Structure 1
Amino acid sequence: MTQTSAADPHEPTELLPVKPQSAEFLIVTGMSGAGRSTAANALEDHGWYVVENLPPQLLGTLSELIVHASDKIPKLAVVMDVRSKALFADIREALHALDTRGIEYRVLFLDSSDDVLIRRFEQGRRPHPLQGGGRILDGITAERALLAELREQSTLVLDTSDYNVHGLATAITELFSEKGPVTLRLNVMSFGFKYGLPADANYVADVRFLPNPHWIPQLRPHTGLDPDVRDYVLVASGAEEFVTRFVHALEPVLAGYRKENKHYATIAVGCTGGKHRSVAIAEELSKRLAQQPRVTVTTSHRDLGRE
């Protein structure tokens, strides 16, 4: 972003960020029923100043707290509901205004599968705010279409389908409770293709080309966390080359994330059932990626324990 100097209208000068680097500004949004209130409570428990249900038109005004009172409010989170076309247009304009002024912010988008959202609304015995006279699914479909662009542009998409209230609070704590800035946090996740792709994956690696320990009777009951299964997978032809090349291919991606101020990414590693090969490879990838500069790595196994 540049601006023109008064002395020479053709000489660009760099526009410095307005917000002090020590302050944090987080916008929390996402699908209705995906856990915005739970996330807000968890953030508040860890020292964030949380403002809920803020109209997008006031986003710029509130951001002044970050600019002028960062010492008093070093961590500000705004929970926003954008379930109408008018509100979505307003938040798009508000975010553009923040970008123009050089105010740094992150957007956390909470999502869940349609089935989980339907179950949550049914258990709460309340309609979806956009369903009108139709079904809950009709409201979810309308909201998903409305928010597709915002989801795509978010800093972090967190799929809450497998979380209860306590699990989501724990996930928010792990993501946002550290003291000091985290340059880049990677979550390396194993999963089984037969259970579907992870909704929040930035990259997906398919390791079904490796021999399957499922067909070895003595290995079948164990998982990729077991040394015998891990060794079987990692010594297979192509395993070492795959891990090495995959990590190497991610290096410019990680550098680009830092440059674009992207703080989080999920690397998903899949095999058939998410029990053997993907688990072993995800663990090995985590070890290698943790050696990259300014990277924090966590490992999760989405489908471990499923039959």
Structure 2
Amino acid sequence: MSRTVYVNGNYLPEENATVSIFDRGFLFADGVYEVTAVLDGKLVDYAGHTTRLERSLGELKMEMPISQEELLEVHRELIKRNNLNEGAIYLQITRGAADRDFVFPKDAEQTIVLFTQAKPLSAPKTGIRIISAPDIRWGRRDIKTVQLLAPSMTKMIAKAEGKDDAWMVQDGFVTEGTSSNAYIVTKDGKIVTRNLSNSILHGITRAAVLKLATELDMEIEERPFTIEEAQQAAEAFATAATAFVNPIIEIDNVELSGGTPGPVVTRLSKIYLEESRKAAM
């Protein structure tokens, strides 16, 4: 049974969905996206994702082609039509179709696409093993654009080495994972994560987890850290919309916390999942 997807105002079977070959998302990666987790058929951190979506569009001088009310209804309708209990909804907006030109078109009609992905999100996490790799992405990582070739290539380097993912490094410091924000927990229990700037994505799950950590009286320090510091940390983890709080148990072949999720990460993961279920809409 095929999924029902949404393309430019229409709900369609996925095999009937099409986008123009002249779409600037296809030709120039001229578009932005968001991924919102679904738990128990409800949307997690939805408001944060739509706020970031509007910011990303604004940074690229694009309008929001649909009202907030309509967008929420599309998300809920896709959950209903696809009987999605747990997984994610992917949303992409591009500048639309126009004859190929580096100059932005003035009158192109924007393209908006949404589809569901069923996947387990709430199962206990045993931890992932990562490598470090150079960060070769463009300089505006704070804009959630669809130009994801560099992180995709980096993830494949990790897979080729038999690992799960990579943390990217620039000027000697960790920026983030290929599709996640990066954290370490020092031996005295302090959570360290890179401060917000154009160098990293302003993660919605990041904001939610740091808010929870603050409420739990955990100490947080927002600053860059090195791979060497991470290897000497008590624990490490990553956060992302569909990975939630994901323990990291090995960095460049150095094992952390005995090769199992540590107590700080385990606690954060449990509480984030509980609070997400409560607040989902």
Length-normalised TM-score, structure 2: 0.30
Give the structure with higher Rg (CA): 1
Length-normalised TM-score, structure 1: 0.28
Greater fraction strand: 2
